[in-house]
Structure formats: C-alpha cells, structure tokens
A and B are shown apart, each in its own frame.
Chain A
Amino acid sequence: MAALTPVSRPPVSGPPVSTAPVAAPVKPARRRPRYWRGAVLTVAGLYFLTPLVSSFVFTVHVPNQGVTFAAYSGILSADGFTESLFLSLSLACATIALALLLVVPALVAVRLGPPRLRAVVEIVCMLPLVVPPIALVTGIATVLRWGPDHFSRTPLYQTFLAVQNESFPVVLVLAYTVLALPFVHRSLDAGLRAVDVPTLVEAARNCGAGRLYVILRVILPNLRSSLAGASFLTLALVLGEYTVASLLGFRPFAVWIVSVSGAEARMSVAVSLLSLLITWALLLVLSRAGTGSSAAVPAAGPSTAPAATTPAASAPAASAGGPSTAPTAVPGKE
C-alpha cells in the first residue's frame, strides 16, 4: 500500500520539525459563583417544606397548652382509622394487580403485533387524563342506580350488589384501575422501550418456552423498575383518591381523614403527615424492589427512571395540602 499512500516527510535539511499537534493552552476555567443554584434550592425547599412544617406545628402546638403529641398518640385508637387504612391498602393491591394484568399483556401484544395498535392502546390508556373524575363517578353512579332496576330479575342483580359491598367495594377497584391506566401505561411503556421485546420473545421461544413462560420469565424480570414505578403510582393514587370514593358513599382512608377533620382537625392533619411518611416508606421499598440486583439495571434502567422518580414528586404534593384540604395523593389531578 506504500505506493498508493502519500507520506509527508519532514524536510531533509535543517532542524527537525515536530509534527505533533501542539496542545492549545488551556485557559483556567473561570469559577463563576453558583449562587443561583442555592437560591433555586432554597426556594424549592421552602415551597416543599413550609406546608409540612406548618402542618406539623399545627398538630403539636395547642394554644394555651403548649406542645403536645396527643394528635399522634390518638390516631391508632381513633374510630375507623384501621378499617379505612386497611380498606385503602386492599383496594390499592387489587387495583395494582388488575391494572398490571390488563396493561402488561396489552403492551407486550402491541410490541409484537402491528405498530398501529400501539397508538390505539396509548390513546385508550391516556383517556382518563382528559376525563375528570367527577365525570367518571357520575357515570358510574348512574350505572349503579340504573342497573338494579333493569337487571333485578337476572343474576346480574346480585353482581351489582356485590360490587358495591362496603367491606370491599369492587366498583372502586374498577374505577381506580381506569384512573391509574395512564400512569401504569407510561411507566411500563418506558420500560418496554428499553427492551427489544420481539427478539427476546423469539429467543425465548427458540429455547422452547411457551408464551406465558416468556412473559413471566423473560419480559417481566426485565420490567422490574417499570413495574415498581407503576405499582407505586397506583398505590399513591388509591391512597389519596377522594372524589370517586366519597361520591359513591364509601369510606376509604382519604374519605376518613376528611370526615374526622371536622371534629379532630389536628388528628386529621397528623394522619395526613403520617400517610405521607408511609407513602415515602413504600416508595423506598418499591424502588429497592424495582432496581433489584445492580447487574440487571442497564436493561431497563435509564428509561424507566422517570417513572420511578415520579412518585417522589407526586407524593409530597399529596399531603402538602395543609389542614383544610383532603390529603389527596393522586399523581395527576383531583
């Protein structure tokens, strides 16, 4: 190749000339004061902490009596606290299970199927964002009123009664699943984008795996972060949801807090603060469950990160409403 490759040679005579590129003198980076960072952090911190601190002060400071923790010590013995919290957690578990059962197979199917279906599923899942919960609950209430009249002589009558069972209102699970669809979809979609689903499915099928085995053993393990994010968002939504439950006449945790706020204002706010702490604790647990072993993180890590961090942003908003508002932990609207 030497014959074809022109080689530039240094001059034969004279002092040798160095052809090595001379490094440009590096200007010392001017250290600019970063006051703005501190200012932004201070403003954000104040915005975040002031309502919490105010709420806390409100709960422990009683005029003319000084500091007392009676609002906190009385929570466990408060009438309806345990039942409402247990009901909300049960509803949250059922909603998470139902939402994931619906969305995971649907999203995997559209990843493997025609691409145009992806847009359809996305639009359907995003619809609850543009339908106000009040509209949703009005529709549900109408159906619940209309159903028994028209199905009184059919087995569906019992179904209508069963879904409104006060000890575990399935109708709330159905409504919450609809409300949670956008968050679950977003979180899982981000996770699936980070995974080459068709190739992994084909590789697993080639190894002899059936379709269910592929979803359980190949797809889901690679979506752990997304699943954790979706679960947390749903949990936060259910724990803080007030409108639907209240208008349908059920009494989960959020409704209970509002109901006790009239007689026990301090306890109501104390419960809100505690619910915020519980939410944060659950966030930590789910985050750790989602990341799992560090070795598997790169598979779906980067693109699911937003989903995992969203709860952190939404949770504080939950209880930051202060004493006079319902402790809504919904990561969206209400």
Chain B
Amino acid sequence: MSALPTATTGRPEPARTDAAHGRAATGARVEFRSLRRAFGPTVALDGLDLTAGPGELLALLGPSGCGKTTALRVLAGFEQPDSGEVLVDGEDITRIPANRRDAGMVFQSYSLFPHLNARDNVAFGLRVRKVSAAERHATAAELLDLVGLPDHGGRFPHQMSGGQQQRVALARALALRPRVLLLDEPLSALDAKVRLSLREEIRRLQLSLGITTIFVTHDQEEALSMADRVAVLNAGRLEQCAPPAELYERPATAFVAEFVGTMNRLPGHLTGTGSVEVAGATLPVDGEIPAGGGPVDVLIRPEGIRAEADPEGTATVVSASFLGSVTRVLLDLPDGVAAKADLPSRDAADLLPGVRARVTPVPRPVLVVPAAPVREPSAGKAAA
C-alpha cells in the first residue's frame, strides 16, 4: 500500500497503518449527529446518533427498512439528510459531494465496471486522480495480491465468480486509501461457503489496514462474528450499540433482545420487589420494569432454560434437534406457550418427542416487557 496516493481533499492525512506493510494505522472517527432522512411519509432515519471509533468495524444491523442502508448512503454522499450532520475526524462532510468524500464503498451487487478488466477496475479511481499509468498498475497489482487475486488482473467481471468480483470491488474501494470503508451488504449475493471465507478475509484486511469500516448487514451472524461493535437500528432509530457479546447477553431493549439471536417470550408475573415469577421460578428483573406490575412477558434465551425428563413435569417435548455440542429442544408449556431450550447434547438424550419434562429457568436477571395482548401458540422467536 505504500504506493497508494494520498487523498486529495486538502485536509491533513491522518496517521494510518498498513500493517501488511509494516506501518501503523489509526483510521478515522465517524460520527452521525441527529441524522434525519425521510422519503415522503416514510422516515428512514429519525435522529440517528452514532459514532464509529478510529479503526473500528461497526456493523449496522436491523430489519428491512430500519434505515441502515440509508445511513451508509448518507455517509457515502449518495443521499442528503434532511437534517443532522456527518463528521469524519471532526470535519463536517454532510454537504461534500460523493466524489470528494474519500470513502471507499463496496456494493451488494459488486458494481464492477463491465468494460474494464479487474486491474483497470481497481485502478479506476487512481486514473480519475490522474495518477501515472505505472503507479496505477503497480498499486492495482498490489491490491489484487492483497485480496488474493494476483493472477486475475486481466479478467473482465463476467469472467469471474461472484466472490472474485467482490474481492476486486474491495480492492477498488481500498485503492484510494479512503479514510472510511463502507460495506453495503457485500456478502449477501454470495453462496454460503464463499460468504464465510470472504467474511474472514474482509475482517483480516480491515484489521491489517486499520481502516474504520461501517458494515451494513441484515445477517446477525455476520454482524456478530465480524464487528467490533454492532449498532441495532429500528425504524430509523438506534436501539443499542455495543460489542456483540454485550448485545447478546445484555440487550438494552426488548427489540434488541428479540431481534438478536433466539429469544423465548414466556408469561410471568411481577412480584413487586424487582423480580418476576416465571415457570415456577423467581428471577431478578434486568432493566426497565413495566409500570403497573401484574402480568408481563419474560424474555429468556434458549440457553437460559433447563429441561429434564420428568413424568410429573408440566411440559411436553415437541422435537429435539441435534446441533452438535448442544441440542435444541422445543417444548410445549401449559397455556399453549412454546419454549426453546438449548441443552448440552449429553443431557438431552432422554428428551425425545412426546416425553414429559420439567422446565426451570436458569437463575439470572431477565428482561421483562408488557404482556402481549394475544399470545401466539409459538411464543419462542427463531431469529437465529
């Protein structure tokens, strides 16, 4: 990367590292401040406040229409916010045109230029900036080597697989040494195997280059496995931004709890002492307690439920799926409530379909939400 030209935006170049070439990298700090963007009556971003630290890989996660792609496009300069601002290293870039933003972007649909081969695609931005042909070719070769395609420089996009095209797109995005790397669902068009390998490769590159990266995805597994922090968006608002483990273990809101991973929603009763009764156990409540007390829904992860075969038990095993070290058991509880429990496979051998079982929540703090008015027969959410 030593041959890569510096950005031409006229601001001082932040110290960066190309670990692959023995330099230290810091990346840029990206801030969204009170960002609002509406498309007619649809509000895509509703006062989004979010910060990505230097060199961090921040994943934007959320359901369709939550505003994650809009946030990325605003950062890239393809959308103008109705209000709010975008800052990169403290500099307000909200009104700067897309071609002067110094942010490399990888699109979902590869978006390589069909009339150019891989080498020229990678060197496109350098050509725009009138870098000499020799330097362009050297840089393109270096980047193609970096993404594992040293021999594909002469190939046109239609002569490459989806994974190869996306690697070239990644190299193209990195060619201008952008301050920020933007990934807009870059893996969603690829098959599972390629997705997995490219996921690891992107992370490896991001860590080695130390470039601040914003990664939009609707795939929880991708977000949780790749990102330093995951920002969960819902209806244009930030629900929670936290490291993956914290997001999973300590979700800040019911939406996050139910959206990330698999969550059981079991009926419970507030006891009035900061605890809740659920499935015959009394558990401490974590987070906000709904006003008024009374019946609530308790959110418990499948690994937070224990089950053992017991003829006197009130639950019935519906199915058991062997997943390797754990077995996921689907249980029918009284009142038509269903629950999922992840048990060590060696402890689940007796839990065959039709067997009566005793269900006990693991004693740890749980989230509670107001009881749903109509309880679905299958209360457990399978989002994983």
Is the C-beta of A203 less than 8 angstroms from some C-beta in chain B?
A: yes
List residues of chain B with CB within 8 A of the CB of A299: 114-115, 158
* Bound CA–CA A204/B115 (angstroms): 13
List residues of chain B with CB within 8 A of the CB of A202: 76, 78, 98, 105, 107, 111
Q: A298 touching B129 by the CB < 8 A rule?
A: no
* Bound CA–CA A280/B103 (angstroms): 49
* Bound CA–CA A224/B115 (angstroms): 10
List residues of chain B with CB within 8 A of the CB of A221: 113, 115
Q: A203 touching B105 by the CB < 8 A rule?
A: yes
Is the C-beta of B6 less than 8 angstroms from some C-beta in chain A?
A: no
* Bound CA–CA A222/B103 (angstroms): 25
Q: B122: shortest Cβ distance to chain A, in Å?
A: 10
Is the C-beta of B176 less than 8 angstroms from some C-beta in chain A?
A: yes
- A:1-60 near B, CB below 8 Å: 1-4
Say which residue of B129, B156, B322 sits within 8 Å of A4 (CB atoms).
Answer: B322
Say which residue of B77, B103, B109 sits within 8 Å of A199 (CB atoms).
Answer: B109
List residues of chain B with CB within 8 A of the CB of A295: 117, 156, 158-159
Q: B107 touching A3 by the CB < 8 A rule?
A: no
List residues of chain A with CB within 8 A of the CB of B321: 4
Is the C-beta of B172 less than 8 angstroms from some C-beta in chain A?
A: yes
Q: B156 touching A296 by the CB < 8 A rule?
A: yes
- In the complex, the number of residue pairs spanning A and B with C-beta atoms less than 8 Å apart equals 82
Say which residue of A1, A207, A222 sits within 8 Å of B124 (CB atoms).
Answer: A207
Is the C-beta of B236 less than 8 angstroms from some C-beta in chain A?
A: no
- A:212-228 near B, CB below 8 Å: 213, 218, 221-222, 224
Contact-size category for B: 20 to 34
Say which residue of A4, A200, A205, A298 sits within 8 Å of B99 (CB atoms).
Answer: A205
Instruction: Pick the most buried of B8, B97, B112, B124: most chain A CB atoms within 10 A of its CB.
Output: B124
* Bound CA–CA A152/B109 (angstroms): 59
List residues of chain B with CB within 8 A of the CB of A196: 109, 111
With CB as the reference atom, state the residue of chain A lying closest to B159. Answer: A295
Contact-size category for A: 20 to 34
Say which residue of B78, B109, B176 sits within 8 Å of A208 (CB atoms).
Answer: B176
Q: A203 touching B113 by the CB < 8 A rule?
A: yes
* Bound CA–CA A85/B172 (angstroms): 49
With CB as the reference atom, state the residue of chain B lying closest to A220. Answer: B115
Q: B98 touching A205 by the CB < 8 A rule?
A: yes
Is the C-beta of A94 less than 8 angstroms from some C-beta in chain B?
A: no
Q: A209 touching B111 by the CB < 8 A rule?
A: no
Q: A3 touching B322 by the CB < 8 A rule?
A: yes
Q: B107: shortest Cβ distance to chain A, in Å?
A: 6
Q: A209 touching B128 by the CB < 8 A rule?
A: yes
Q: A203 and B111 in contact (CB under 8 A), knowing A208-B176, A209-B99? A: yes
Q: B19: shortest Cβ distance to chain A, in Å?
A: 24
Is the C-beta of A195 less than 8 angstroms from some C-beta in chain B?
A: yes
With CB as the reference atom, state the residue of chain B lying closest to A214. Answer: B99
* Interface 0/1 of B66-105, CB less than 8 Å to A: 0000000000111000000000000000000111110111
List residues of chain B with CB within 8 A of the CB of A2: 322
Q: A208 and B128 in contact (CB under 8 A), knowing A202-B98, A296-B156? A: yes
Is the C-beta of B370 less than 8 angstroms from some C-beta in chain A?
A: no
With CB as the reference atom, state the residue of chain B lying closest to A292. Answer: B115
Q: A274: shortest Cβ distance to chain B, in Å?
A: 36
* Bound CA–CA A209/B173 (angstroms): 13
Q: A200 and B129 in contact (CB under 8 A), knowing A206-B105, A295-B159? A: no
Q: A111: shortest Cβ distance to chain B, in Å?
A: 15
With CB as the reference atom, state the residue of chain B lying closest to A297. Answer: B158
Can you list 5 A-B pairs with a CB-CB distance of less than 8 A?
Answer: A4-B320, A199-B107, A199-B109, A299-B115, A299-B158
For the complex with contacts A295-B158, A298-B114, A298-B158, 15 further pairs of A-B residues with Cβ separation under 8 Å are: A1-B322, A3-B320, A4-B322, A196-B109, A202-B107, A204-B124, A205-B97, A205-B98, A206-B101, A208-B176, A210-B99, A213-B128, A221-B113, A222-B115, A299-B114
What are the nearest 10 A-B pairs in CB distance?
A: A299-B114, A207-B125, A203-B111, A221-B115, A295-B156, A205-B98, A296-B115, A199-B111, A298-B158, A208-B128
